[in-house]
Structure 1
Amino acid sequence: MKTLQIGNVTLENNLVLGPMAGVTDLPFRLLCKEQGAGLLCMEMVSAKGIYYNNKNTEQLLAIDEREHPVSLQLFGSDPEIMSEMAKKIEERPFDILDINMGCPVSKVVNNGDGSALMKNPVLAGKIIEKTARAIKKPVTVKIRKGFDDAHINAVEMAKVAEASGAAAIAVHGRTREQYYSGRADWDIIRQVKEAVKIPVIGNGDILTPEDAIRMEEQTGCDGFMIARGAQGNPWIFAQILHYFKTGEHLPKPTAEEMVQMMLRHAKMQLAFKGDYTGIREIRKHAAWYTAGYPNAARLRSAINEVESYEQLEELFGRFLTYNEKNG
């Protein structure tokens, strides 16, 4: 593994936990940090949400001292508001500020934010430049391959970002139109890498250690952003680090190890978000954790009925007992 320099921030390794709304909250980031992630990206935060003191925004901005280095991601399309809010929150303990220009969700895009900015490189450049000038911390940008197949402009966007003061750029090899379907186009990551001098972080379809190696070979990228590959699998960072170091695979966590991690995650989630919200949010994580384990399919509907930590613990206790008896 390589270290990675982003502005004045040095990452121990070049594995990055990608930002995912509703997933990369503080408890999950801490678990990924324990498994070796070199940089943790927070859930995206609305610059207007900060501007208008939205009550939900404060929890999204929470950072634990064990997380560093951590990247806080802002989204918005008004250069003034983006730069002013970046300055307003700069004293908070994040290390890097990332600007989201890749989110494909309709309610974000319809406001001109996220991947809608792929259609307006001039405005994107103004946002990046104004924000980079407003704060001392490094500013990075996350983009997609393009908005749709008729508008593939990641290379142009990367050049604009570099010229506007971005310290690094992450490229997801899908268009906005694709959302997360189909295969990620890693060749566009290679094209971006060849076009700019700032670090390029490849994103899309890194699910195994071999995927990371193949991406490096095919693109020459400087770092790897792992998002959906980490859902229910915070071990992916340790697995990739171990494989890069030894050429050998770490064994898949046993069902018992998986359950221990999931229950620990649940405790952290409930402590952070309260019992009502925490137990509802852990349900999707629990479904991800169990994917691929024997007899997990019969758990799916039961997970969605769980109303407390005690019920979750009991459910998974029965799951382990059943697996022991039935092999």
Structure 2
Amino acid sequence: MHIGPYQLKNRLIVAPMAGVTDRPFRMLCKRLGAGHAVSEMITSNAMLYGSDKTRRRANFEGELAPVAVQIAGSDPAQMAEAARHNVAAGAQIIDINMGCPAKKVCNVLAGSALLQDEDRVARILAAVVEAVDVPVTLKTRLGFRNGEENVLRVAKLAEDSGIAALALHGRTREDMYNGAARFELIAEVKRSLKIPVVANGDIGTPERARQVLAETGADAIMIGRAAQGRPWIFREIDHFLATGSHLPPPRVSEIHAILLEHLQDHYAFHGEYSGCRIARKHIAWYTNGLRGSNEFRQHMYQQDSTATQLATVDNYFKQLALDSERLVYQDESARAAA
């Protein structure tokens, strides 16, 4: 798949997730098989460019190309300026957020709330595409409310404005993340457009990835929540799509090494205070379903320094390795659904 001049190494993309897809996580996913990754959303409000959070989100140092940055906002001029600002900082692809269902984003008429105003959608798309000389992509949903799905019109606006690729989550904003993602409209969008289309939503296994690609005809798939605590899902899906066979599950020793690497990069990136606190959710995701993980997490949550948190994780996995070299889950069905 191509996005403008960039040929991706495969059809697997890490979805932008606020508070999750920071630079350490994106780089790890790329190392473990993702062909592309999009940053967590960066506000278009210039007054916040100097905040610690925005500066971290706009830090792409050492990241494999192409670097894709997602911007969020509701004002066409601000969005255009945000695109220029991030390109100057190193972004090679600009992604526009019209899919986030969070209340705090929709309350300022950004994210998926924009789908209620197609004229504003068109003005934002045109302004951002005109503002920069790098590819601009769009991530959106089927519509704002069920029964009022307008993705076909929005997709046509995107193609006509010069958007290089469209990522489509198979739910409306009303759905949030409830119920099953619907892919029939994504297939219809793909048939109606010439630009690449990326399918997103409920893709958590190699079999599901193959099924969604077949049902939608999409050029690629985007994986979000299923990669939380499972960044190796990308190599598993890539191998399955290429061979039809499954890779063996990761061993305790490998997950131990991956998590320690992730945490050390994470701490260096976020610093002592934020690094320790933000890491808690990642550690919980990695250990979900593992033997003794509930007790471990309660102990881990009490650690308030990166050193003690890292030592707690290290000791837990060393104990797991003593019990069994193979990864053993308490509840296989719960882990598969995670």
Q: Same fold (TM over 0.5)?
A: yes
Matched, 1:94 2:91: yes
What is residue 28 of structure 1 aligned with on the other side?
25
Distance 1:277 1:320 in 2: 29
Q: How far off its partner does 1:316 sit? A: 3.4
The alignment partner of 2:170 has SS state of: strand
Q: C-alpha distance in 1, partners of 2:227/2:206? A: 12
Q: 1:52 to 1:241 in 2, by over 3 A?
A: closer
Does the 8 Å CA contact 2:68/2:95 hold for their aligned counterparts?
yes
Matches within 5 A, 1:100-249: 100-249=97-246
- Give the corresponding residue for 2:80: 83
Report how far residue 267 of structure 1 moved: 0.9
Choose which of 258, 263, 282 in structure 1 pairs with 2:260. 263
Match of 1:306 among 299, 303, 306: 303
Q: CA deviation at 1:305?
A: 1.7
Q: 1:51 to 1:275 in 2, by over 3 A?
A: closer
- CA separation in 2, counterparts of 1:298 and 1:321? 17
Deviation, 1:50, is: 5.9
Partners in 2 of 1:112 and 1:152 — Cα distance? 18
Match of 1:250 in 2: 247
For this pair of structures, how many residues does the alignment match?
Answer: 323
Q: Which residue does the alignment assign to 2:334?
A: none
Q: 1:51 to 1:135 in 2, by over 3 A?
A: farther
- Cα distance, 1:237 vs structure 2: 0.9
Unaligned runs of 5+ in 2: 329-338
Taking structure 1 as the reference length, the TM-score comes to 0.94
Q: Offset at 1:180? A: 1.1
* Matched-pair contact (CA < 8 Å) for 1:144–1:172: yes
SS at the partner of 2:68?
Answer: strand
1:105 aligned partner, one-letter code:
A
Structure 1 residue 20 displacement after superposition: 0.4
CA distance in 2, matches of 1:203, 1:234: 16
Match of 2:51 in 1: 54
Secondary structure at 1:97 match in 2: strand
Structure 1 position 274 matched with structure 2 position 275: no
For normalisation by structure 2, the TM-score amounts to: 0.91
Q: How far apart are 1:322 and its partner, in Å?
A: 5.0
Q: Distance in 2 between matches of 1:254 and 1:319?
A: 10
Per-residue deviation, 1:320: 3.7
Gaps of 5+ in 1: none
- Identity rate, percent: 42
1:319 to partner: Cα distance? 4.2
- Partner Cα distance (1:141, 1:167) in 2: 8
* 1:295–1:323 Cα contact (<8 Å) kept: no
In the alignment, which residue of structure 2 is the partner of 1:18? 15
Q: How far, CA to CA, are the matches of 2:300 and 2:61 in structure 1?
A: 29
Q: In the aligned structure 2, how far is the partner of 1:302 from the partner of 1:316? A: 14
